[in-house]
Amino acid sequence: MRFDRVIVVDWSAANLPTSATSRANSIWIGCHDAEGGAEWHHRTRAAAEAQILALIDAARGDGLRLLIGCDFAMGYPAGFAARLTGEARAPSIWAWLAEAIDDGPDNRNNRFEVAARINAAFPEGPGPFWSHPSGQPRPGLPFRRTGIDYAALGLAESRLAERTVRGAKSPWMLFNPGSVGSQSLLGLPMVHRLSLRGDVAVWPFEAAESPVVLAEVYPSLIAGPVAILANADGLTADQAQVRLLSRALFRLSCRDRLAPLFDAPPEAAEEGWILGAGHAALLAEALTWA
């Protein structure tokens, strides 16, 4: 399995445009191909999505095969899709969220309201989503995980992917360090829009055989090398992550060693999977190759 270019996107759930000078906790896009690497910083999701589309069009225009990794969950624990949409398919969630989420060009969005709306559809008790900024009560959205009975909801607290990768957080958690839930709610509408293109496949829900393959990534798989680079070069952790992960994936592609990363368990067909789960050592090894 080979790709001519690899892009890694570090997403953001910011509710305003991020700082023009302090580039932490904003969106970073990293790219690596035979000519080297580059990174770009974006203050809004709208600007980042516009560049992703431009990068896809440029790659397709040059006849290049493209792998794009996004660092948010592309699925939810089994059973959620059917409960929310009536279809046991992750793409049905993307389409539902694309209709429900309002995400303006200035990053203002309604993700907490949408999460509370989903929670209200679970009369068995508090719904699956939780966490919000302290001091900002959100009716229908618990501040803490305590009190949510996932078994009663017919759902798991996390996907198999999170239970496999140390440190990965459940997509139900919307706020606080390490959370990915808000990024997922705001990223999946973009995944839906990209999935409508005839040249894009979203793995593992589709075979990774299209000219453009979109997949979920978890840059913390290479946390050690990221910390070393960030400290040595004074980069933000996000910039270091997209630089190194795009480089590692591209080097694996060049040596035709990407295929093991695309092995996923049966649960991934509904829940999704993290590209590279179980292969952190191989990703780190690729960074040592010339």
60 and 101 both lie in a single domain: no
pLDDT at 152: 95
Residues 150, 112, single domain; the answer is yes
* Residue 102 and residue 132 share a domain: yes
Question: pLDDT 10s digit of each residue in the chain, 290 long?
Answer: 899 999 999 999 999 999 988 777 799 999 999 999 999 999 999 999 999 999 999 999 999 999 999 999 999 999 999 999 999 999 999 999 999 999 999 999 999 999 999 999 999 889 999 999 988 888 999 999 999 999 999 999 999 999 999 999 999 999 988 899 999 999 999 999 999 999 999 999 999 999 999 999 999 999 999 999 999 998 999 999 999 999 999 999 999 999 999 999 999 999 999 999 999 999 999 999 98
3-state secondary structure the chain: CCCCEEEEEECCCCCCCCCCCCCCCCEEEEEEECCEEEEEEECCHHHHHHHHHHHHHHHHHCCCCEEEEECCCCCCCCCHHHHHHCCCCHHHHHHHHHHHCCECCCCCECHHHHHHHHHCCCCCCCCCCECCCCCCCCCCCCCCCCCCCHHHHCCCCCCHHHHHCCCCCCCCECCCCCCCHHHHHHHHHHHHHHHCCCCEEECCCCCCCCCEEEEECCHHHHHHHHHHHHHHHCCCHHHHHHHHHHHHHHHHHHCCCCHHHHCCCCCHHHHCCECCCCCHHHHHHHCCCC
- Is residue 84 domain-shared with residue 165, that is, in the same domain? yes
Together in a domain, 87 and 170: yes
Angle among Cα 97, 67, 109 to the nearest 5 degrees reads 25
Tokens of 69: 């990794």
Query: d(Cα 269, Cα 287) in Å, to the nearest integer?
Result: 30
Domain check: are 128 and 172 in the same one?
Answer: yes
pTM: 0.97
Print the domain residue range for 173.
80-183
| Residue 135 forms part of a structural domain | yes
Q: Is 122 among the domain residues? A: yes
Rounded CA separation 290/285 (Å): 11
Q: Are residues 230 and 252 in the same domain?
A: yes
Same domain, 91 and 66: no
239 part of a folded domain: yes
- Determine, yes or no, domain membership for 202: no
> Are 60 and 111 in the same domain?
no
Rounded Cα–Cα distance for residues 180 and 154 (Å): 21
49 and 117 belong to one structural domain: no
> How far is the C-alpha of 247 from the C-alpha of 222, rounded, in Å?
11
Structural domains counted in the chain: 2
